[in-house]
Amino acid sequence: MNDLSLLPLNTIFKELNSGKEGLSTKEALKRLAKYGPNQLKEKDPTKWYHILLGQFANLMTLILGLATIISFAVGENLDGYAILAVVILNVIIGFLQEFKAEKAVKALKKLTAPYAMVLRDGIGQRIKANELVPGDIIILEEGMRVPADARLIESFGLKSLEGSLTGESQSVEKHVIELKKVSGIGDLTHTVFLGTVISHGHGLGIVIGTGMKTEFGLITKLLDLAPEEKTSLQKDITRLSKILIIIVLFITAFLFALAFIKGEKLLQMFMLSISLAVSVIPEGLATIITLTLAIGVQNLAGKNAIVRKLASAETLGLADVICTDKTGTLTQNMMTAQRIYINGKEIEIQGTGYDPSPSFTADSKELKLLLTAGALCNNASLIKEKSAWTIIGDPTEGALITLAQKGGFLKEELLEKMAKKSEMVFDSERKLMSTVNGNFLFTKGAPDSVIKVCNLSKKEKEELLKKNAEFAKKGYRVLALAYKELKKNGEPKEENLTFLGLTALSDPPRPEVKSAIELCRQAHIKVVMITGDHALTAQAIGLEIGLFKKGDRILTGEELEKMSQADLAKIVENISIYARVSPSHKVKILKALKQKGHTVAMTGDGVNDAPALKNADIGIAMGISGTDVSKEASDIILTDDNFATIVEAIKSGRAIYSNIKKFIRFLLSANFDEVIVVTCVFLIGGPIPFLPLQILWINLLTDSLPALALGMDNVEENLMTLHPKKHSSVWKEIIKLSLFVGVISSVMSMVVYLKTVNVYSAEHMRTIMFTTVVTFELLLVFSVRFANKNYFTGFFKNKFLLLAVALSFLIQILAIYTKPLQKILETVPLSFADWSLILSMSGATILILEIWKVYKNRNSLNAIQ
């Protein structure tokens, strides 16, 4: 908040050495040199080659690079070129993603006004907005975008739309009255802000902040301070990469050292140990993750969610808290008259938004006059753009025009019969606005103010004030309407009026929001409303959509301001609604939720949401109503601004996350048995069970098609009833499973080895061992597909997986029975007895794994698989 905001006007003029006539051109030029142009600073763009080089700092990329070098070193050029292609592909994708760069500051510049009307040398001038300086006097007119932060020195019915800055949907009345204490920028009713729009009236203001010293400038700084955090998947892959590096180095050093001690052929053992090390590295992992995310992103695009960052798609699957703005996200961002109180009766109005389709009949004189008064005591216009209705001017006045047209009264037709002669503009003291149309005076305003100027009994006043309080408690904005017929040449005074009725207006919730929030609850996702609006309004919306329950707590920005980060963290999980908050408050709330271990998604559409969107684990912006700033600060953009789309996006995110876990489980579970078997055989002094090329063949065959097919697995029916796994770490669970699978499969392989080593030739034994491992790993894919479900769950649903396993097995058959591959891989044809041994041992091992899964998961909670 600007330090000058709460000072008396006389002090501001003195501090800025200015007056009501404005600055001189000479003085303005001096200040422009001192303060700099009225524009937002941009970061120096990152050089393209820095972005490119940054892609090689990734641990998995370094491991793949090592695998490439090793493959070429052992003469496996085909494998080497394949892995190199993977490296290049991942580097290109990463480079293209990051080369788009952060455009949030550039987007903020679009919200600044290109020109401004200013008093210089005592006369009005039109200058470029970036030439404004502190102390300038700016002229404010209806419909203009405010060019800088300014304290008002004159206000004539001035109202501004500040939703993009504060999140509040209603126009804010602006006046010159000095304020002593405020809780946030939403309470600065004597100040207008850069980028907001004057919706009504006119006035003058003295510039107190330009460029980075404006409220928008402060938001820019918040965006700059927001750290670029890695997603949970990226963190887990980094951990896995570190573990794999240690394993690779240990295997290579241990086996090579052992061979040296035992006097084995060092070149052969070097090639074997290197091949085993390469086999541990799942070189297909990075590519399959990229392809799985890309496929998921395409699916999300078809569901009206555009993902700007690939890794964000899987983070959606872990979200367990959604912090959402109210205006335009939960609500329609369109003020709507929902109830009329007239002649002691309450009338419910159907329809939402600005669609004026007839929905009721004005069947009384009073109702007809009320609709007429609402349409004529009004400066807004209702227009149709393509197939959608919208308004020009104040949203509240737009709601009254819409109400009148729903009852059959069009403003244009009424004006033809009763032309507007004069207007008494709204001010904060009277809290009234009146117009003279024909020989009628129509008045609207705050109910208590209108009641005072009407001919009403004490009992009638009490009844109306009681009804007003009842509407206000439900979160409605209430306006009263009155009129009187003027005598010929009579003076239009706001007195002795005839009271017409009360209109209850609100920004209604989106129709689908209530069911979407219920789905979130079923999915164990907490929805939290964070709004710049008043607590009473927020609570009413929260109750209506099922977000707020009795006993829930609301926290205001004023209360939040007094809390330390530690104090907020203690209660943050019990708060359902935050009201009257500022952009910095939203970041504070997010930090508290993250401290509690939550994965937080933040939705929003305004400039005020941008810092929180960028700080959240997953930022979701609105594509239609959202500002450029919110879109550029986000990870995902909803093209239909529909809260229900978030639920679909989370469902897709969960499916993506689940599929990624499936193929990581498979790739790592299938990559340890060869290492253990070779080590055991080497220790007992038998002939080696695999040749280096056979190990690389196993790795290439099982790490490609089956793993990719897992990444395209079907969405599970109960996915939206499972718990997002808290405090989860993919590598801990998967390493545990991988070691277990590695041990039992190694036992199986050793049994096969001992049964064949003294019976068959070395080539025959290795062919059986080689085929046993391939067969087991192709069967294993169905077992590790689900951590908590049996082998045959959804067995025939993923046709890609069935095809991938069948094709991989066919390729293995060719490796055994075709002469070219027999020669390359040093294999021999297998008999029926050989196949019986291979299939029985593989099947028995899978059965053991399935029994272990049942035992392990007997007491576990459901979580995303």
Q: Please check the confidence at residue 515 and state whether its pLDDT lies above 60.
A: yes
For position 549, what pLDDT does the model report? Answer: 83
pLDDT class of 93 with cuts at 50, 70, 90: low
| CA-closest candidate to residue 165, choices 389, 1, 308 | 1
Maximum average pLDDT range among 228-242, 273-287, 347-361, 574-588:
347-361
Residues 521 and 631 reside in one and the same domain: yes
Range of the domain at 543: 305-331+510-649
Does residue 416 have a pLDDT over 70?
yes
The Cα 428–Cα 64 span in angstroms is: 69
506, 539, 557 - which closes a domain: 506
Residues 139, 57, single domain; the answer is no
Question: Which whole number is the average pLDDT over 645-656?
Answer: 82
User: Does any domain span residue 291?
Assistant: no
Please tell me whether residues 412 and 344 are part of one structural domain: yes
Residue located via tokens 């009424």? 414
Domain edge (last residue) among 506, 536, 554: 506
| Residue 758 falls inside a structural domain | yes
What is the percent of the chain where pLDDT is above 70? 81
* Residue 11: Cβ within 10 Å count: 11
How many angstroms from the chain centroid is the CA of residue 810? 44
pLDDT in tens, 696-753: 788 778 777 888 788 778 777 777 777 776 444 555 667 777 788 888 988 999 999 9
Lowest mean pLDDT of 80-84, 341-345, 400-404, 846-850, name the range: 80-84
Query: Looking at residue 164, which CATH number applies to its domain?
Result: 2.70.150.10
Give the pLDDT confidence score for residue 674 in this predicted structure: 77
**Residues 31 and 177 both lie in one domain:** yes
553 is a domain residue? yes
In a shared domain, residues 113 and 205? yes
Q: Evaluate whether residue 290 is within a structural domain.
A: no
Q: How many domains does the chain have?
A: 5
Which CA distances in Å does 748 have to 34, 342, 837, 846? 80, 85, 11, 10
Q: What is the structure's pLDDT at 341?
A: 96
Which one of the listed residues 325, 507, 605, 628 is annotated catalytic? 325
- Looking at the fold, whether 617 and 640 belong to one and the same domain comes out as yes
Same domain, 32 and 163: yes
Q: Which two tokens stand for residue 25?
A: 């051109």
Do 603 and 701 belong to one domain? no
pLDDT, greater one: 62 or 474: 474
What is the tens place of the pLDDT at every residue in 297-324? Answer: 777 777 778 877 667 777 888 889 999 8
**Predicted local distance difference test score (pLDDT) of residue 340:** 96
Among 4, 40, 18, residue whose Cα is nearest residue 191: 4
Q: C-alpha angle 270/272/276, rounded to 5°?
A: 115
CA 433 to mean position of chain CA atoms? 41
Quick one: pLDDT band at residue 198, thresholds 50, 70, 90? confident
Q: Same domain, yes or no, for 520 and 644?
A: yes
- What pairs with residue 603 in β-bridges? 324, 620
**Residue 270: its pLDDT value, please?**
63
Evaluate if pTM is beyond 0.75: no
Q: How would you class 105 by CB atoms within 10 Å of its CB: exposed for 0-12, middle for 13-18, buried for 19 or more?
A: middle
Strand pairing class (115-120; 345-348): unpaired
860: pLDDT strictly greater than 60: no
Per-residue confidence (pLDDT) for residue 381, from 0 to 100: 87
> At residue 111, does pLDDT exceed 50?
no
The reported pLDDT for the residue numbered 223 is 63
Residue 690 has pLDDT above 70, yes or no: yes
The 10s digit of each residue's pLDDT in 523-573 is: 889 999 988 778 888 888 899 899 998 778 999 988 998 899 999 999 999
Residue 828 has pLDDT above 90, yes or no: yes
Q: Which residues contact 551 (CB under 8 A, 6 or more apart)?
A: none
Contact 391, 398 (CB under 8 A): yes
457: its two tokens: 């009994």
> Does residue 813 share a domain with residue 701?
yes
pLDDT of residue 627: 66
Does an H or E element contain 515, and which? helix 513-522
| Residue 38 within any structural domain of the chain | yes
The answer to whether residues 60 and 34 belong to one domain is no
Our answer to whether residue 325 is catalytic in this structure is yes
Q: Of 60-74, 160-174, 535-549, 625-639, which gets the smallest average pLDDT?
A: 60-74
Are 387 and 494 part of one and the same domain? yes
End-to-end CA distance of the chain: 47
Position 767 pLDDT exceeds 90? yes
- The per-residue pLDDT of the chain, averaged, comes to 82
For residue 843, count other CB atoms closer than 10 A to its CB.
Answer: 14
> Under DSSP, is residue 229 helix (H, G, I), strand (E, B) or coil?
coil
Q: Domain holding 318: CATH number? A: 3.40.50.1000
Tell me, yes or no, whether 1 lies in a domain: no
Q: Is residue 116 part of a domain?
A: yes
Q: What is the CA radius of gyration of the chain?
A: 35
Q: What CATH code is carried by the domain that includes residue 446?
A: 3.40.1110.10
Answer whether residue 739 is part of any domain: yes
pLDDT of 282: 65
pLDDT at residue 501 above 90? yes
User: What is the band of 152 on the pLDDT scale with cuts at 50, 70, 90?
Assistant: very high
Give residue 706's pLDDT.
86
